[in-house]
Amino acid sequence: MQNAVESTNTMKSDFETAVAAKREPRFSAACHLLLGAVQQKTAAVGVIGLGYVGLPLANLFHQKGFRVFGFDIDQRKVDALNAGKSYIGHIPCERVAELMADGRFVPTADFARIREADTISICVPTPLDDYREPDLSFIESTGRNIAPYLRKGQLVVLESTTYPGTTKEVLQPILEAGSGLRAGEDFFLAYSPEREDPGNPNFSTSTIPKVVGGMDAESLAVAVALYEQAAAKVVPVSSMEVAEACKILENTYRAVNIALVNEMKVLFDRMQLSVWEVIDAAKTKPFGFQAFYPGPGLGGHCIPIDPFYLTWLARRYGLNTRFIELAGEVNAKMPAYVVDQVMRGLNRAGRAVHGAKIAIIGIAYKKDVDDPRESPAFEIIEELLHLGADLSYHDPHIPHLPKMRKHDLRLSSQDLTTEYLSAQDCVLIVTDHTAVDWNLVLKSSRLVVDPRNALGKTPGSHEHVIN
């Protein structure tokens, strides 16, 4: 117990020292050198993984005046960026062309160029495997790819969402073994969880506070200095593990509350009450309540996945996180519940699912984005196809269904017209994109299943709408 207390006190001391970095004279020469380069924006910033997290981060550092190296193993992404083309909806091609124009952004698949970067932010996927356990293969392979090219004085920051302990227990040993360098002596190591909310115009990478934890005082100091150049606010914490746990808590909080309203949705449907009206009434309370909304299932890279990282870690400590697992069970059942609603609606109309023409509106996991990762739409489509439905879809942001890890559906988005809608036996709204003409959907469809309440405030008769 005494050792644990001493360790905690040392951690707090390191944390306090790092927070006061700008007036701390005892830092090493390498630390002062990198601090100066970051603060003067002469440091070269490396970002590994040019997806929905990495590319916006690289874009932000470029906007702030840094030279940026963007690394990705997908040569197609590298080629697209070098050609001035974007593959992410909220970063237009015009902005990519600007990135490439001044020579300060270098997209590459050549990891040998890691040597040229002074800081390296790792933004790679952390999915679940087939047993719903953490799949850290992308972090591990990234570590092996960059380790031979690490040099003294660099900062490595992991941003990928993961369980507490990953940076120290998984990434650090790989980097040290492959480079012959020691973290905390030869290079700096930190963790700073990504916080992205695509499709939300109220927040961006530059306005969302950035949590940062370092392996030691110097690592924390240089990581804080780096992100201070890009984020509106930096929140330093006492360890990498606290920063890792912070992101897991944020997304578990959302998953649990969404599960609650999903369960209330099923109950209130049985009671013939509108869960949407109940939530609208409840959120008038100015304290003690935050509105969450039901839907056809969880999607995106974070909320359906992150809580299971925590349940897996808890088992290592001999604990069962029953509350989190129950929330996961409730949310996982929602796609099947939506399919059941479609079946019931068609049955009332005297139609079987087998042979019925069903149009899915929205494939993306949330409104106004082009990101289909973990979208409940795929599970819903697979089940309806299994039942013999004649399926098609419309999504203004996803012209063709991409091949996913667990799904390979060869469909293309259809034009949303009166003729198309009126030819369907059922229209199922999975994603409530702003760009969709909901008045047209309401007026032209025979039957609409609307688990998003997209038509809730649309004028006109809702007699043929199932919420």
- The rounded distance, in Å, linking the Cα atoms of 462 and 172 is 57
Instruction: For residue 418, count other CB atoms closer than 10 A to its CB.
Output: 11
- Phi then psi for residue 81, to 5 deg, are -65, -40
For residues 300 and 365, the answer to whether their CB atoms sit within 8 Å is: yes
Task: Give the tokens for residue 348.
Answer: 């009332």
The SS3 assignment for 110 reads: coil
Instruction: For residue 253, count other CB atoms closer than 10 A to its CB.
Output: 14
Q: Which string of DSSP letters, residue by residue, matches 311-348?
A: HHHHHHTT---HHHHHHHHHHHTHHHHHHHHHHHHHHH
- The rounded distance, in Å, linking the Cα atoms of 219 and 175 is 15
Q: Which string of DSSP letters, residue by residue, matches 233-270?
A: -EEEES-HHHHHHHHHHHHHHHHHHHHHHHHHHHHHHH
- The rounded distance, in Å, linking the Cα atoms of 127 and 136 is 8
Q: Is 302 a catalytic residue?
A: yes
Task: Write down how long the chain is.
Answer: 467
- The rounded distance, in Å, linking the Cα atoms of 23 and 26 is 9
Element (H, E) at 189: strand 188-191
- Cα 121 vs. chain centroid, distance in angstroms? 16
Residue keyed to tokens 């082009």: 370
The SS3 assignment for 130 reads: coil
Give 460: exposed, middle or buried? Use CB within 10 Å, 0-12, 13-18, 19+. exposed
For residues 211 and 246, the answer to whether their CB atoms sit within 8 Å is: yes
For residues 59 and 65, the answer to whether their CB atoms sit within 8 Å is: no
Catalytic residue from among 31, 123, 246, 302: 302
Task: Give the tokens for residue 88.
Answer: 């992410």
The CA R_g of the chain, rounded to the nearest whole Å, is 24
- Which residues are marked as active site? 302
